[in-house]
Structure 1
């Protein structure tokens, strides 16, 4: 169960404070009200609606896909405390995904898959469960299959450090919805990064076997990191309009933070060539590893079998 946070009246000074509470309702399903109900979803002047929607899909898909991967650790972590911590990290990312997909749908309804007339499936669920892998825009770091515990710790460290840097800047977005989502996400991602950072240090300075596994995980994941800082044309356009963040702008900060963790752990940053794309295209372009299509087949099967179902 997701941790429920309460807030006192007046704690938030923006009109979208409701996005920052009610964590218990942040889950997929038709038994919940519109996550953006009562929020002004008008696209800011000078921001292209289709580009804003595509940008929200990128950030939302990152969270949705990685949440699914982390949730696979439920009941498999070394002990109960870590099991619950990983489950809560997955739920935090799922909450971010729901709001970002809902924002994408509100900005550009044409991006939402069409279902039979009368289907009760809300827009964010349609985007989650009724797109194929070519229409997902997540970075490939989020989708690759899980390895051992050292691998998931290392992957969350890289991902959360990168996403935290993005969200700290996105909290000042001209799009008020994105700004509110990011403000909430900063708190969550700070916890994610600190939790796995401590584990990274523990594994690096633990036994010979724990260190060997950690270094193996880091070497295997590092070729996927260059993609995090490669600017897609949509990201460039939305950043230029003041609504988004150019990922290239956070590279120096992210690598500096990671180097600090590596230095404290007695680990050297790997030197590895980036994982090649397909004809120069990567996850942001809808070009993925085979692992994503296999994961989506499992994740989407029930929703696709029952598009008129109520849950």
Structure 2
């Protein structure tokens, strides 16, 4: 497994998940914001997957077990707070990772150097909504905490070493934990107490083992391409 494939799959799958909010976001401004984040991620996915092979074939013709994305990004959107919790966890990780890859000498450095600016916005967007929901009404606080608690067990997988991404994964995890913990404290939210590195969640997505929501999402994403093989526009 190469880093380009793993990180490309992360971006592709989360892009599709965020795209599912089209027509369903709570306000028009968020419709545009989530769509823009999805497009940023799709652009990253195209560059990364093209380093591995044909981007269309990799996106639309692989079977479920061939995908190497994190289980976190394949989780269903749930309500808006659940989506923001997923985005907070992932964008904080992605920003820290790309920031480190950008200064290295790997083939991923050019992409990381450009994408880190996009991902900084993704993280800021998630942080601002975490603050608004966590320190808002009793209901928004409860929903945000519920999303954090539900997704926490998937975060340990982010720090399993990926071949071709030469970073200090232990240091990356420490930086992520400090950033998320500080932000949750500001938002009057609690750091979830659940297990982050259970046998099922640690490294499973990177190994091609996915959760039930992923199969349904993949079938939807690949349906048109598989229904019309070889079609051109």
Give 1:88 deviation, angstroms: 0.4
Partner of 1:87: 35
Distance in structure 2 (CA, Å) of the matches to 1:288 and 1:102: 23
1:297 has 2:216 as partner: no
Q: How many residues align?
A: 233
Distance in structure 1 (CA, Å) of the matches to 2:127 and 2:198: 28
Give 1:181 deviation, angstroms: 0.7
Contact conserved, 1:164 with 1:190, CA < 8 A, in 2?
Answer: yes
3-state SS of 1:225 partner: helix
Give 1:260 deviation, angstroms: 1.5
Give 1:58 deviation, angstroms: 0.2
3-state SS of 1:238 partner: coil
Which one of the candidate residues 234, 238, 246 is aligned to 2:164? 238
- Greater share of residues in helix: 2
- Pick closer, same or farther for the CA change 1:196–1:283 going to 2, 3 Å: same
Distance in structure 2 (CA, Å) of the matches to 1:259 and 1:126: 39
Partner of 1:203: 133
Distance in structure 2 (CA, Å) of the matches to 1:159 and 1:188: 13
Give 1:205 deviation, angstroms: 1.2
* Greater C-alpha Rg: 1
- The 5-angstrom pairing of residues 1-311 of structure 1 reads 54-105=2-53, 123-176=54-107, 178-231=108-161, 235=162, 237-239=163-165, 244-274=166-196, 276-277=198-199, 282-311=204-233
Give 1:247 deviation, angstroms: 3.5
Unaligned runs of 5+ in 2: none
Give 1:172 deviation, angstroms: 2.1
TM-score (norm 2): 0.95
